Every structure is written in structure tokens, then in C-alpha cells.
Structure 1
Amino acid sequence: MKFRKSEKKDVEIIMEIINEAKDYFKSNGIDQWQNGYPNEEVILNDIKNDESYVLCDENNKVVASCVISFRGEKSYNIIEKGSWKSNLPYAVIHRVAVKNKLKGKGISSELIKEAEKMCLEKKIKSIRIDTQEDNKSMQRLIIKNNFEYCGIIYISDGSERFAYEKLL
């Protein structure tokens, strides 16, 4: 697999993968990404900010995408029913999505491993991530990759999210 920054030419396939994820969530009763978010404008903004990444297969076809940001996350400033593991500078992983036909093959874990490599290169020793309470598959991924549950955060629309941190 090849990990690289996303480019504008990738937007269509990234949106296909995200729309598959939206359908998966809907069919599994998960109320995530059901309000038009993320959309093409969000993805283009991620690319513009140099925070969008893709994982490509041996044929150079995009099979997964995510955001890895080092700008902090306003929603993480207040955490309830717990606390962050550290006050260190951190990376944030957002919008993890994998082609449906490749789910369960460790692709999401590869994205996390790439984020860890980027952190170590930048001497960042913490990664944070969040997900909805009913997104059990994402919670399993997060725990499998040695993140620790830290508490509850609220995103800009007021929705509650489980928050996790991993120290490197």
C-alpha cells in the first residue's frame, strides 16, 4: 500500500468512499455523517490545508482516506467525564473511510500507523481521535490500535463524541 497526500484529482473517489461509509452507517443504525457532512467542499478544504491523505493499493487505486491534522482541535479544549492523557502537542485523525469491500482487512490500522510515523517525524508524542457512541466498529479500531478512552467532547453542532488519546 502507498500512503500519500490527497490531490484534487482524488476528490471523486474520496467522496465515493465516504458515501459508501454513509450508507454503511445508515444501514447499521449509526447516526453519523447523515446530515450532508462530510461533503466535497469539506474534502477540498482538507486538501487545501494539506491535511487529507489517501492509501492506494498495488494498482495505485485509492482505497481509503483520512485527515491528519497538527493544528489542534477546538472541540478538544473541553473534555467531560474524564481527562486527556497529556497536555502535549498532538495530532488529530478525522474522517477515516475505507472502501466497503476492503473493510476488516486492516486498512484503517494502516492509516493510523502512517499518522504515528508522521507524528514521530515531527516529534509529536500524542494522537487524539473521537467517534460517536454508536460507532462500535470505529471504537474497536481505536482500542485495537492502543488508544485509551479519555472522556466526552462535543463537536461544533453540540453532538457528543467519545474521545481517545494515544501516547507515542
Structure 2
Amino acid sequence: MNIEIRKAVTADIDRLMQIFSIAREFMKSSGNPNQWINGYPQEEFICKEIADGHCFVCINKENGNIVATFCLIKGPDPTYSYIEDGEWPDNEPYYVIHRLASDGSVKGIASMCIEWSSLISPCLRVDTHHDNKVMQHLLEKNGFVRCGIIYVANGTPRIAYQRNTNNK
């Protein structure tokens, strides 16, 4: 698949919100109804991520359609400062992948986003909901190691993962 990744721009917002809606429905149908609830992520939040330069889009170069989105944010992430039931394998500088979502039209898009992100930083961290078995599988398939449990801003737990290609 011929995919281009670029920073999202404000004009992308309607398509991004469609993709998040598709992703929420997919999560519900695959046994994860509680991760992105109450319309999360909200449009205002994604607009801020775009303005801050954290939000990226994946474009199918064959037809020009945006097929996926994710945020890549330079650490440290305050929610990762406390981890229980495990530990981070190192204290190297890292980037965090957040809000990875796809419209489902391109297989392997998560792996493409991860590999692209690893060009920015060899050390990547991600967290996901306990019920998000699909993401857990994708992360482990892409070399991430489960490190423990962190708590996001609303106090709910997430499984934390790290991949550091410096330590291969």
C-alpha cells in the first residue's frame, strides 16, 4: 500500500472526526465499548492537537483519501511518571503514540504508523484499555513489551507498553 504520512491541518478535522467515529464503532464491536466514550476524542481536543503539531494523517496515495490518524507526542508524558504492576525498562527519551485510529480500509496501517514513528524516536510508548485486545495484539506484534499499568487523566487504568529499537 502506498501511504503518505503528514501533519494534520485544520481542514482535515471533519475527516478525522469520521475516522474516530468509525474507530469507536469498531472498538464496540470487538469487545471494547468503554475506551473512547462520550464522543472522545472531541473535535476541540483534536483541533488543539493539530495546532500543537502532534496530529498526523495517513493518506492513501492511490486515491488521496485520509485513511488513518494518530498523535505522536514527545515525552515525558506526565501520566507515565507513575507505573504500577511493573516498570519502564529504561529512562531513555521517548515519544508517545496516542489516538491511533483507522477507517479500516487499509490493512497494516497500525504497523506503518509505528514504523514511521520509530524513525522519529527509537523509543516509543503507548497505552491502551484492558478491553482493547486488538491494539494489545498489534502492539505485541510490532515489538512492544507490556510494562505495567498507568492511569490516564480521568483516573482510569491503561496497560502501558514500550518499544525501544536501541535495545534490540
Same fold (TM over 0.5): yes
Name 1:116's counterpart in structure 2. 118
Letter of the 1:139 counterpart? Q
8 A Cα contact 1:67 1:95, kept in partner: yes
Name 1:122's counterpart in structure 2. none
Distance 2:75 2:84 in 1: 22
Name 2:46's counterpart in structure 1. 43
Cα deviation for residue 27 of structure 1 reads 2.8
Distance 1:148 1:28 in 2: 22
8 A Cα contact 2:75 2:93, kept in partner: no
Distance 1:53 1:76 in 2: 22
Q: Which runs of 5+ in 2 are unaligned?
A: none
TM-score, normalised relative to structure 1: 0.92
- Superposition CA RMSD, Å: 1.0
Letter of the 2:55 counterpart? S
Distance 2:128 2:134 in 1: 10
Runs of 4+ in 1 over 2 A off after TM superposition: 26-29
Residue of 73, 84, 101 corresponding to 2:105: 101
TM-score, normalised relative to structure 2: 0.92
Distance 1:91 1:148 in 2: 15
Is residue 140 of structure 2 the alignment partner of residue 135 of structure 1?
no
Per the alignment, in what secondary structure is the counterpart of residue 166 of structure 1?
A: strand
8 A Cα contact 1:69 1:92, kept in partner: yes
Cα deviation for residue 40 of structure 1 reads 0.6
8 A Cα contact 1:26 1:34, kept in partner: no
Cα deviation for residue 41 of structure 1 reads 0.7
Cα deviation for residue 42 of structure 1 reads 1.1
8 A Cα contact 1:2 1:60, kept in partner: no
Q: Tell me which moved more, 35-44 or 10-19.
A: 35-44
Distance 2:64 2:75 in 1: 29
Name 1:147's counterpart in structure 2. 144
